[in-house]
């Protein structure tokens, strides 16, 4: 590869991307009532569409998958219509965009859920985590109901259905959020999965739910439009995995034959665990690496074969023109953490571009 490795084109399955700068998924809690995206989302994503690939904020595939305030959904016609305007904006700017499907499982408060929504998990183990709710301020997470064996196929189908709707909404593909201690990772991890049936116990059993989701999504939209995000051994949201190589080796060995578009790997916060190396050992397709990269370290990661592309989250918040800044070596702006999750345009679409 000659020239700037960040600007070499890359194909993730059928998704052809102009460069290797990926916008990482970021929950920003700006959805309107009905969990629909708005004109603000069109502007926010449209302005960042010169990334090779934009990955949206975590988006619930069903009402049961919602846990936080003001997160968008992708299960109703109104939500499809609203997302279509976002994907249209990204495509009009020459970009590519996939939706991240995120089911929070037990990381939820009923105060943030619509009527009729359940809180489910592999086992009835409450997350020792608090979350913000618009209705009642900070709240403990609710104790989840353990999914019965008979209920699991319907949850898997929620993902597949949402993936089909994603294509109807104009997305180039979908990414399964299997990191950050949400429902898929709750199945993968022994302290949150106490099941004694085919979905619990040995690593291959703990991986089964995620593998079934991946098979279902790939069946729905084609594997060449499906990615998966993992972060081995991340304790975020009260999960604890003492054997990440075993867990993720099992998962990736089972997913590998599907031939998915990409694997998105977040660096492990545990120094002894090299998540990128685990990924390379068990998966031979394109890998997007994430966490803590800046321009030069991203170039180094691609040149050194650690990853094939690099995703940036926080740098994209305050730099709508991050791609240009990386290309031209311009300084990067910071961001205000107080407006990360607040409603409205402030701190979302009002960060300036660098002077021309």
Total of chain residues touching ligand FMN, rule CB under 6 A = 20
Query: Is residue 227 a contact point for ligand FMN (CB under 6 A)?
Result: no
Q: Which residues, 250 to 279, sit near ligand FMN by CB under 6 A?
A: 266
CB of 314 to ligand FMN, least distance (A): 3
CB of 317 to ligand FMN, least distance (A): 7
> Could you give the string, one character per residue 169-188, with x where binding to ligand FMN holds by CB under 6 A and - elsewhere?
--------x-xx--------
The strand pair at 15-17 and 10-12 is best described as antiparallel
Answer for which of 19, 27, 79, 192 binds ligand FMN (CB under 6 A) is 27
Active site residue 182: yes
Query: Is residue 314 a contact point for ligand FMN (CB under 6 A)?
Result: yes
CB of 85 to ligand FMN, least distance (A): 20
Answer for which of 10, 22, 24, 90 binds ligand FMN (CB under 6 A) is 24
Asked whether the beta carbons of 261 and 286 are under 8 A apart, the reply is yes
Q: Which residues, 192 to 221, sit near ligand FMN by CB under 6 A?
A: none
Answer for which of 35, 50, 57, 158 binds ligand FMN (CB under 6 A) is 57
Nearer to ligand FMN, 82 or 185 (CB): 185
Query: Is residue 25 a contact point for ligand FMN (CB under 6 A)?
Result: yes
Query: Is residue 156 a contact point for ligand FMN (CB under 6 A)?
Result: no
CB of 150 to ligand FMN, least distance (A): 29
Query: Is residue 103 a contact point for ligand FMN (CB under 6 A)?
Result: no
Catalytic residue among 182, 248, 262, 351: 182
- Would you name the residues annotated as active-site residues? 182
Which residues of this protein are in contact with ligand FMN, per CB under 6 A?
A: 24-27, 57-58, 100, 102, 177, 179-180, 229, 266, 290-292, 312-314, 340
């Amino acid at each position: 590869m000659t020239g700037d490795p960040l600007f070499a084109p890359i194909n993730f399955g059928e998704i052809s991307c102009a460069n290797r700068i990926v916008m990482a998924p970021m929950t920003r809690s700006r959805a309107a009532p009905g969990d629909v995206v708005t004109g603000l989302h069109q502007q926010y994503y449209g302005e960042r569409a010169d990334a090779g690939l934009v990955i949206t904020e975590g988006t619930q595939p069903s009402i049961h998958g919602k846990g936080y305030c003001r997160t968008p959904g992708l299960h109703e016609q109104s939500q499809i219509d609203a997302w279509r305007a976002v994907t249209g904006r990204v495509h009009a700017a020459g970009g590519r965009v996939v939706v991240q499907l995120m089911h929070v499982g037990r990381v939820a408060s009923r105060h943030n859920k619509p009527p009729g929504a359940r809180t489910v998990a592999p086992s009835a183990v409450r997350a020792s985590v608090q979350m913000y709710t618009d209705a009642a301020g900070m709240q403990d997470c609710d104790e989840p109901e353990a999914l019965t064996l008979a209920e699991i196929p319907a949850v898997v189908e929620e993902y597949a259905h949402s993936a089909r709707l994603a294509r109807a909404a104009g997305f180039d593909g979908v990414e399964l959020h299997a990191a950050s201690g949400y429902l898929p990772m709750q199945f993968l991890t022994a302290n949150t999965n106490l099941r004694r049936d085919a979905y619990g116990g040995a690593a291959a059993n703990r991986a089964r739910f995620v593998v079934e989701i991946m098979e279902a999504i790939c069946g729905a939209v084609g594997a060449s439009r499906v990615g998966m995000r993992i972060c081995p051994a991340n304790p975020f949201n009260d999960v604890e995995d003492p054997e990440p190589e075993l867990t993720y080796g099992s998962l990736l060995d089972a997913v590998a034959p599907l031939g998915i578009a990409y694997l998105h790997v977040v660096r492990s916060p545990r120094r002894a665990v090299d998540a990128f190396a685990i990924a390379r050992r068990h998966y031979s397709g394109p890998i997007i690496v994430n966490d803590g990269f800046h321009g030069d370290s991203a170039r180094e990661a691609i040149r050194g074969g650690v990853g094939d592309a690099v995703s940036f989250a926080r740098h994209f918040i305050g730099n709508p023109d991050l791609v240009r800044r990386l290309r031209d070596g311009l300084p990067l702006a910071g961001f205000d953490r107080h407006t990360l999750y607040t409603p409205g345009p402030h701190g979302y679409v009002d960060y300036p571009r660098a002077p021309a």
